[in-house]
Amino acid sequence: MDTRAYRDTYFMAIADTVATGTDCTFSDVGAVIVRDGAVLATGHLGAPRGVGPCRDGGCPACVAGQPLSLTCVCVHAETNAILDAARNGVRLEGATCYGTHRPCLECLKALTQAGIKRAVYRTARPRDPEYLRAYEAFASAAGVMVEALPPSESVVGSP
């Protein structure tokens, strides 16, 4: 495994660990933002600070059994990682975001605005073709590389 593939696998394993902190009833999602081999910020899917854990009723959508609906108050993992960096005064320019799931378009816009140039993910939720065309067009125009981690690189090994 080449060095980049090893790093991608290594940081994806960290994103998997971060995902265990998710308090959403729908899905475990984690993200880690890295530059020059150093972790800058992490985030997981969950209710905002002060709202209370999603699993304990913090999110009306999850309480109603309708995750990802318009009443969902959960903050996505990538956005939480960006906000974590902002709270701690960390610049993200030129960084890579590793996420357990492909960032949604809103998160991709936030990653772009934060200066992140690459997003690596393992799982992609099904999307309609129109959404995917808009997504790919935006990523291309914004100069952000969005890459799936190949299944063969899903286990951490030695470089």
Dist. CA 24–CA 59, nearest whole Å:
8
Angle, helices 77-87/105-113, rounded to nearest 10 degrees = 20
The amino acid sitting at 50 is G
Which residues are the active-site residues?
78
8-state DSSP, 108: H
Give Cα 63 distance to the centre of its chain.
23
